[in-house]
Chains A and B, each alone.
Chain A
Protein backbone atom coordinates (compact mmCIF):
# COMPACT_ATOMS: atom_id res chain seq x y z
CA UNK A 1 0.00 0.00 0.00
CA UNK A 2 1.08 3.57 -0.42
CA UNK A 3 0.00 7.05 0.60
CA UNK A 4 -1.50 9.14 -2.17
CA UNK A 5 -3.31 12.36 -2.84
CA UNK A 6 -6.48 12.34 -4.92
CA UNK A 7 -5.96 14.78 -7.77
CA UNK A 8 -8.75 14.11 -10.22
CA UNK A 9 -11.68 12.12 -11.52
CA UNK A 10 -12.13 9.91 -14.58
CA UNK A 11 -15.40 9.29 -16.40
CA UNK A 12 -15.82 6.35 -18.78
CA UNK A 13 -18.99 4.97 -20.33
CA UNK A 14 -17.44 2.00 -22.11
CA UNK A 15 -15.54 -0.02 -19.52
CA UNK A 16 -15.12 -3.44 -17.96
CA UNK A 17 -18.41 -4.37 -16.25
CA UNK A 18 -16.65 -4.55 -12.89
CA UNK A 19 -16.28 -0.75 -12.92
CA UNK A 20 -19.95 -0.05 -13.59
CA UNK A 21 -21.29 2.08 -10.73
CA UNK A 22 -17.85 2.56 -9.19
CA UNK A 23 -15.98 5.84 -8.86
CA UNK A 24 -12.58 6.14 -10.55
CA UNK A 25 -10.12 8.64 -9.11
CA UNK A 26 -6.64 9.72 -10.17
CA UNK A 27 -4.26 9.36 -7.22
CA UNK A 28 -0.73 10.77 -7.10
CA UNK A 29 1.76 8.63 -5.28
CA UNK A 30 3.50 10.71 -2.60
CA UNK A 31 7.02 10.51 -1.21
CA UNK A 32 7.63 10.48 2.56
CA UNK A 33 7.77 14.27 2.62
CA UNK A 34 4.27 14.35 1.14
CA UNK A 35 5.26 15.60 -2.30
CA UNK A 36 3.75 14.05 -5.42
CA UNK A 37 6.03 11.76 -7.43
CA UNK A 38 5.66 11.14 -11.18
CA UNK A 39 3.76 7.92 -10.40
CA UNK A 40 -0.01 7.80 -10.33
CA UNK A 41 -2.86 5.31 -10.48
CA UNK A 42 -6.42 5.38 -11.67
CA UNK A 43 -7.98 3.71 -8.65
CA UNK A 44 -11.42 2.48 -7.63
CA UNK A 45 -12.75 4.40 -4.63
CA UNK A 46 -14.20 2.26 -1.80
CA UNK A 47 -14.23 4.90 0.96
CA UNK A 48 -16.00 7.91 -0.57
CA UNK A 49 -12.78 9.84 -1.07
CA UNK A 50 -12.70 13.11 -2.98
CA UNK A 51 -10.26 15.39 -4.76
CA UNK A 52 -7.63 16.72 -2.32
CA UNK A 53 -7.96 13.85 0.17
CA UNK A 54 -4.90 12.05 1.53
CA UNK A 55 -5.61 8.37 0.96
CA UNK A 56 -4.29 4.86 1.46
CA UNK A 57 -4.00 3.00 -1.85
CA UNK A 58 -3.79 -0.74 -2.33
CA UNK A 59 -2.23 -1.95 -5.59
CA UNK A 60 -2.52 -5.73 -5.50
CA UNK A 61 -5.01 -7.82 -7.40
CA UNK A 62 -6.04 -10.54 -4.94
CA UNK A 63 -6.72 -8.08 -2.12
CA UNK A 64 -8.57 -5.77 -4.49
CA UNK A 65 -10.80 -8.62 -5.64
CA UNK A 66 -11.60 -9.50 -2.01
CA UNK A 67 -12.59 -5.92 -1.26
CA UNK A 68 -15.01 -5.64 -4.17
CA UNK A 69 -16.23 -9.21 -3.65
CA UNK A 70 -15.21 -10.37 -7.11
CA UNK A 71 -12.98 -13.36 -6.57
CA UNK A 72 -11.39 -15.03 -8.44
CA UNK A 73 -11.71 -13.20 -11.75
CA UNK A 74 -12.29 -9.49 -11.18
CA UNK A 75 -10.01 -7.34 -13.34
CA UNK A 76 -9.08 -4.87 -10.63
CA UNK A 77 -5.86 -3.85 -8.89
CA UNK A 78 -5.68 -0.29 -7.57
CA UNK A 79 -8.20 0.49 -4.85
CA UNK A 80 -8.50 3.40 -2.41
CA UNK A 81 -9.02 1.63 0.91
CA UNK A 82 -8.71 4.42 3.46
CA UNK A 83 -8.63 8.14 4.12
CA UNK A 84 -5.51 9.05 6.08
CA UNK A 85 -6.01 11.18 9.19
CA UNK A 86 -2.43 11.28 10.42
CA UNK A 87 1.03 9.97 9.62
CA UNK A 88 3.78 9.95 12.25
CA UNK A 89 7.34 9.58 10.98
CA UNK A 90 10.76 9.87 12.52
CA UNK A 91 12.16 13.29 11.66
CA UNK A 92 15.16 11.93 9.75
CA UNK A 93 12.92 9.60 7.71
CA UNK A 94 10.96 12.56 6.46
CA UNK A 95 14.05 14.68 5.89
CA UNK A 96 15.93 11.85 4.22
CA UNK A 97 13.69 11.94 1.14
Chain B
Protein backbone atom coordinates (compact mmCIF):
# COMPACT_ATOMS: atom_id res chain seq x y z
CA UNK B 1 0.00 0.00 0.00
CA UNK B 2 1.12 3.54 -0.72
CA UNK B 3 0.17 7.02 0.39
CA UNK B 4 -2.06 9.12 -1.87
CA UNK B 5 -3.84 12.45 -1.77
CA UNK B 6 -7.48 12.66 -2.86
CA UNK B 7 -7.62 15.38 -5.50
CA UNK B 8 -11.08 14.88 -6.97
CA UNK B 9 -14.18 12.80 -7.44
CA UNK B 10 -15.64 11.01 -10.43
CA UNK B 11 -19.21 10.07 -11.23
CA UNK B 12 -20.20 7.46 -13.82
CA UNK B 13 -23.83 6.55 -14.28
CA UNK B 14 -23.26 3.74 -16.72
CA UNK B 15 -20.68 1.30 -15.40
CA UNK B 16 -19.86 -2.38 -15.02
CA UNK B 17 -22.20 -4.57 -13.02
CA UNK B 18 -21.28 -4.72 -9.35
CA UNK B 19 -20.01 -1.15 -9.23
CA UNK B 20 -23.39 0.36 -8.36
CA UNK B 21 -23.04 2.54 -5.28
CA UNK B 22 -19.24 2.53 -5.42
CA UNK B 23 -17.71 5.97 -5.01
CA UNK B 24 -14.80 6.89 -7.27
CA UNK B 25 -12.02 9.26 -6.31
CA UNK B 26 -9.16 10.73 -8.29
CA UNK B 27 -6.03 10.25 -6.25
CA UNK B 28 -2.43 11.36 -6.66
CA UNK B 29 0.00 8.66 -5.46
CA UNK B 30 2.68 10.02 -3.12
CA UNK B 31 6.19 9.05 -2.14
CA UNK B 32 7.25 8.45 1.45
CA UNK B 33 7.70 12.19 2.04
CA UNK B 34 4.13 12.64 0.78
CA UNK B 35 5.28 14.36 -2.42
CA UNK B 36 3.51 13.51 -5.72
CA UNK B 37 4.98 10.43 -7.42
CA UNK B 38 3.69 9.30 -10.80
CA UNK B 39 0.40 9.90 -12.54
CA UNK B 40 -2.94 10.39 -10.80
CA UNK B 41 -5.30 7.41 -10.92
CA UNK B 42 -8.99 6.77 -10.43
CA UNK B 43 -9.56 4.69 -7.31
CA UNK B 44 -12.67 3.15 -5.80
CA UNK B 45 -13.30 4.28 -2.24
CA UNK B 46 -13.13 1.16 -0.07
CA UNK B 47 -13.77 3.25 3.05
CA UNK B 48 -16.78 5.07 1.52
CA UNK B 49 -15.75 8.02 3.67
CA UNK B 50 -12.75 9.67 1.99
CA UNK B 51 -13.00 13.08 0.34
CA UNK B 52 -10.91 15.63 -1.54
CA UNK B 53 -7.83 16.91 0.27
CA UNK B 54 -7.46 13.88 2.51
CA UNK B 55 -4.29 11.83 2.93
CA UNK B 56 -5.19 8.18 2.37
CA UNK B 57 -3.51 4.91 1.64
CA UNK B 58 -4.33 2.90 -1.45
CA UNK B 59 -4.04 -0.72 -2.50
CA UNK B 60 -3.52 -1.82 -6.10
CA UNK B 61 -4.22 -4.66 -8.48
CA UNK B 62 -6.50 -7.58 -7.51
CA UNK B 63 -6.69 -6.60 -3.86
CA UNK B 64 -8.34 -3.28 -4.76
CA UNK B 65 -11.59 -5.01 -5.68
CA UNK B 66 -11.54 -6.94 -2.41
CA UNK B 67 -12.17 -3.72 -0.46
CA UNK B 68 -15.61 -3.34 -2.05
CA UNK B 69 -19.03 -4.86 -1.23
CA UNK B 70 -18.97 -6.92 -4.44
CA UNK B 71 -15.45 -8.31 -4.71
CA UNK B 72 -15.42 -9.57 -8.30
CA UNK B 73 -15.49 -6.19 -10.02
CA UNK B 74 -13.18 -4.44 -12.49
CA UNK B 75 -11.22 -2.13 -10.18
CA UNK B 76 -7.44 -1.75 -9.99
CA UNK B 77 -6.90 0.85 -7.27
CA UNK B 78 -8.84 1.43 -4.07
CA UNK B 79 -8.61 3.62 -1.00
CA UNK B 80 -8.28 1.37 2.05
CA UNK B 81 -7.83 3.88 4.86
CA UNK B 82 -7.71 7.52 5.82
CA UNK B 83 -4.42 8.49 7.45
CA UNK B 84 -4.59 10.26 10.82
CA UNK B 85 -0.91 10.35 11.57
CA UNK B 86 2.41 9.39 9.98
CA UNK B 87 5.63 9.20 11.94
CA UNK B 88 8.67 8.69 9.73
CA UNK B 89 12.19 8.73 11.10
Contacts and interface: CB of A to CB of B under 8 A. Distances in A.
Q: Interface extent on A, as a size class?
A: 20 to 34
Given A42-B3, A73-B71, A77-B1, A15 B47 contact: yes
B82 interface: yes
Contacts of B50: 14
Contacts, number: 85
Interface of A is mostly: strand
Contacts of B67: 16, 75
B31 A40 contact: yes
A49 to B, nearest CB: 13
Given A42-B57, A61-B63, A75-B46, A16 B81 contact: yes
Interface of B: 1-3, 31-32, 37, 46-47, 49-50, 57, 59-64, 66-67, 71, 78, 80-89
